[in-house]
Amino acid sequence: MTDPVPPAAGEPGEESAIRLLRRIAVPAFGPTMLAAAGQAAALPVLPLMARELGASAQTASLVVAAMGIGQVVAALPAGALVARVGERRALIGSALLEAVAMVVALVAGSVAVLTLAAVLFGMTFAVFTIARQAFLMDLVPVSMRARAMSTLGGMLRIGFVAGPFAAAAATSVWGTGAAFAVGAAGALGAALLVLVTPDLTAGHSESVPGTATVSLRSVISANRLVLSTVGLGVLALAAARAVRMTLLPLWADSIGLDAATLSLIVGVSMVLEVLLFYPSGSVMDRHGRVWIVVPCLLLLGAGFALLPLTHSVLALTGVAVLMGIGNGLGSGIVMTLGSDAAPSAGRAQFLGAFRLGADLGTSLGPLLVSAVTAAASLAAACLAMAGVCAAGAAWLGRWVPRFDPRRRA
């Protein structure tokens, strides 16, 4: 655990940090919110569009999974791409390519073409996320890095909430495919906003010579310790986050709740997540990352452990709120930990490698739940995920302080 460390001389305090975040809000966070809203608008209708094209329920699920595959496949090359072309170009290019992928999904005449579009969704979002993270690392001092990253995570959550509402309004008038038009609009809006706002980090690429020429293999080799310690713990955290949105609906269905009630419960949980992103970043900056990442995993684990005991709307809402608080506390934590450990040379390549662990966790978590449920029961899957969270909390509690720059200073 880390001891509280006050801001060093010349570093921004709370009021100065808030002023800085407000000043950079539009160029730093606006494109992220638009891109996230576009992704969130398209994701719920992917399986519906696949079904309209003649896919079975199982095949439709694979179409959705293709987006996660795209993220995993692109994680490593995304970092190398950002290092080569720069954050600004990567942001604009990935947003424009995402808009193209949305149009491809809109006019797709087969499940294969729709699946290709879903893979592109994941790949472009991976590039966009890494470029945005690198952009913020240039822009803010270390003393307020967690607040910046947690705010970025908060903007992602706001986009994820707003996107489905916009898609619902569009599809009610123009049909299922209109959600992809909303997604394309979000991506184009993100690209346009990056293009018209000033480049606040202009000149950084010249200030870090040789960054783009560092090989991905050498970066991974030089940082294998942090990737195998903190990176492994991040995998557990990402798995828990992904599984939360799988187990909650499945358990709600098992106790007879309808979709409308579940949506309300999830909505209440997500409101809490949005409200907590800045306080959690402030705690991380003041006291160290471990004071957030460990409670985040413990609260998620407690929610998984209690889920099999819920048999009413009130009880399930309580568990969903508990897990929402845990997930909200962890807003931006993966990006913060990756930024803390990133070297100056080969930074973007490292961020891609670090992000790969989180993307693998997002993909493997639901597979674990599926396997345990098939072998035992849904309740056993809940308890298995509680165990994963407990192990992840212990692991990160051991390793995170080593790479906390405030502790090292």
pLDDT digits (tens, 9 = 90+) for 102-133: 999 999 999 999 999 999 999 999 999 999 89
The rounded distance, in Å, linking the Cα atoms of 357 and 224 is: 12
Q: Residues, the chain, total?
A: 409
Q: Residue 202: what pLDDT?
A: 63
Where do the domains of the chain lie, and which CATH numbers do they carry?
21-205 (1.20.1250.20), 213-409 (1.20.1250.20)
Predicted confidence (pLDDT) per residue in 351-364, tens digit: 999 999 899 998 88
Confidence of residue 268 (pLDDT cuts 50, 70, 90): confident
Q: Residue 138: what pLDDT?
A: 84
The rounded distance, in Å, linking the Cα atoms of 283 and 230 is: 19
Q: Residue 212: what pLDDT?
A: 52
Q: Across all residues in the chain, what is the average pLDDT?
A: 87
Q: Residue 213: what pLDDT?
A: 66
Predicted confidence (pLDDT) per residue in 212-267, tens digit: 568 888 999 999 999 999 999 999 999 999 889 888 888 988 898 887 788 788 88
The rounded distance, in Å, linking the Cα atoms of 95 and 274 is: 24
Percent of all residues in the chain with a pLDDT value above 90, rounded to a whole number: 55
198 secondary structure, DSSP code = -
Q: Residue 409: what pLDDT?
A: 45
Comparing CA positions, the residue from 298, 320, 295 lying closest to residue 389 is 298
Taking 50 as the threshold, does the pLDDT of residue 2 lie above it? no
Taking 50 as the threshold, does the pLDDT of residue 10 lie above it? no
Q: Residue 113: what pLDDT?
A: 96
- The contacts of residue 210 (CB under 8 Å, 6+ apart) are 345
The rounded distance, in Å, linking the Cα atoms of 45 and 350 is: 33
Predicted confidence (pLDDT) per residue in 23-49, tens digit: 888 888 999 999 999 998 898 888 888
CB 44 within 8 A of CB 216: no
Predicted confidence (pLDDT) per residue in 185-208, tens digit: 999 999 999 999 887 766 554 444
Q: Residue 267: what pLDDT?
A: 81
Q: Residue 385: what pLDDT?
A: 96
CB 303 within 8 A of CB 315: no
